[in-house]
Amino acid sequence: MSGTVGVVTLFGVPIRLHFTFVLLLVFLLFIGIGGKQSAAMTAVYILALFGSVLLHELGHAIVAKRYGIRTVEIVMFPIGGLARLDRRPKAPEELWIALAGPAVNLAIAATLGLWLVYGQGLAPLASLNEPTDSNLAQRIATGNLLLAVFNMLPAYPMDGGRVLRALVARWRSEDEATQIAATAGKGLAFLMGLYGLLSGNFILIFIAMFVYLGASQESSVARGQSLTSGYPVRAAMVTDFRYLNHGETIRDATQLLLATSQQDFPVMHGGQVVGLLSRNALLRALVTVGADAFVAGSMDRDFVRLDPDDELSGALSKLSQSAALVMRGEELVGMLTAENLTEFLILRQITDLGGREQTA
């Protein structure tokens, strides 16, 4: 995912920090130092909450793995983490995957709570407004409890929204269930934002904005899944395209970029596909290595491959910032890009609309 920094792997899952999350950590450290809580305990508190969110996402990843779903990466955002899966879970699978995250937070809160009850005892809740070293463990426990409750709000794409989607999918199709859950998420986000605006709580407005955008994106993805369901990749792939040879230069590639509407170019060597040069990689190479460098040094050798008979709906999640190459064995037969996929979806929407009008 773009905008991320750093990579740490836990249980085989890459963990990345979005740059906005890094800024939030620095901000929290800055405002936390100077009160009754020591600087060291302020850092411990922030890292503990970070660890709690990370364990929450790993809970999703571990349960998803039991269903044979691989977690591509976990990205940490200011309002929480995001576990990106290599496929959308079916409704029964998603129910347990979604519940796993909040269950981890409840387990952390319960463990710390029991330790406090049988140890130093619980402090009054009002005292937690004043962070001190002595109430650190109780604030971490309370933070985990709030994380669990907040994530269970029925606002898609939060965990509660995913649970709602899984339950609705028992009686409706998965795409309809996603649309219903996304609509509920956008409605709740609107109410959260309105309350935040009236109360002057700008953090709540910020959270509401992320929830609304997330729900809108999930709604669009669900619509795309619905429109591509039942179609193979070959129905939307580009068959009229240009390619580069292994020995051509970045200058040759820039000329081809200007002469055509194509932005991604397969790289061939002896009749075989050896890589893919995207527009971003081309521009980056032009600045870093110069126009006389060979395209082979800047192409992506680990490009996305699709079979023409693959389900188009399943290919949606595999499209990255560059194109996917459609290959039958080792033969290049087409390309699938975000642009021509968008055109396919537009045509499908028009066809669906025309069909409904004729039926009416």
What's the pLDDT tens digit per position in 99-129?
Answer: 999 999 999 999 998 988 887 777 777 776 7
- Rounded to the nearest 10 degrees, the angle between the axes of helix 136-151 and helix 39-66 is 40
Tokens 């496929």 correspond to: 87
Tokens 């990255």 correspond to: 320
Residue 5: its pLDDT value, please? 67
Q: Has residue 270 got a pLDDT over 70?
A: yes
Residue 255: its pLDDT value, please? 93
Contacts of 204 (CB under 8 A, 6+ apart): 192, 193, 195, 196
**What is the phi/psi pair of residue 216, to 5°?**
-65, -40
Q: How many residues does the chain have?
A: 360
Q: 102: cis peptide before it, omega within 30°?
A: no
The mean pLDDT of 282-305, rounded to a whole number, is 90
Report how far residue 226's alpha carbon sits from residue 219's, in angstroms, rounded to the nearest whole number: 11
Q: What is the CATH number of domain 233-347?
A: 3.10.580.10
Selection from 46, 59, 47 nearest residue 11 by Cα: 59
Q: Has residue 41 got a pLDDT over 60?
A: yes
Report how far residue 16's alpha carbon sits from residue 27's, in angstroms, rounded to the nearest whole number: 19
| pLDDT tens digits, one per residue of 316-347 | 766 655 688 999 988 899 999 888 888 888 88
Diameter over CA atoms, the chain: 75
Which amino acid, residue 12? G
Report how far residue 27's alpha carbon sits from residue 40's, in angstroms, rounded to the nearest whole number: 15
Residue 29: its pLDDT value, please? 66
SS3 track for 226-251: HHHCCCEHHHCCECCCCCEECCCEHH
**Half-sphere exposure at residue 259, Cβ-oriented, CA atoms within 13 angstroms:** 10
Selection from 110, 102, 111, 109 nearest residue 141 by Cα: 109
Q: Has residue 353 got a pLDDT over 80?
A: no
Q: Which two tokens stand for residue 284?
A: 């980056």
Range of lowest pLDDT (34-48, 58-72, 197-211, 236-250): 34-48
Residue 105: its pLDDT value, please? 93
- Other beta carbons within 10 angstroms of residue 210's beta carbon come to 16
What residues does each domain of the chain span?
A: 1-152, 156-229, 233-347
| pLDDT tens digits, one per residue of 127-169 | 767 777 777 888 889 889 988 988 888 877 788 888 998 898 8
Contact at 8 Å (CB) between 131 and 37?
A: yes
Residue 347: its pLDDT value, please? 86
266: β partners: 276
Contact at 8 Å (CB) between 268 and 280?
A: no
Residue 180: its pLDDT value, please? 85
CA distances from 49 to 144, 153, 213, 259, 276 (A): 8, 19, 24, 52, 41
pLDDT range class, residue 357, cuts 50, 70, 90? very low
> Cα torsion at 99, 104, 106, 110 (round to 10°)?
150
Cα 189-70-309 angle, rounded to 5 deg: 100
The per-residue pLDDT of the chain, averaged, comes to 82
306: β partners: 326
**Half-sphere exposure at residue 29, Cβ-oriented, CA atoms within 13 angstroms:** 13
CA distances from 295 to 20, 22, 158, 325 (A): 34, 35, 43, 17
Q: Which two tokens stand for residue 19?
A: 């740059």
Q: DSSP 3-state assignment of 289?
A: coil
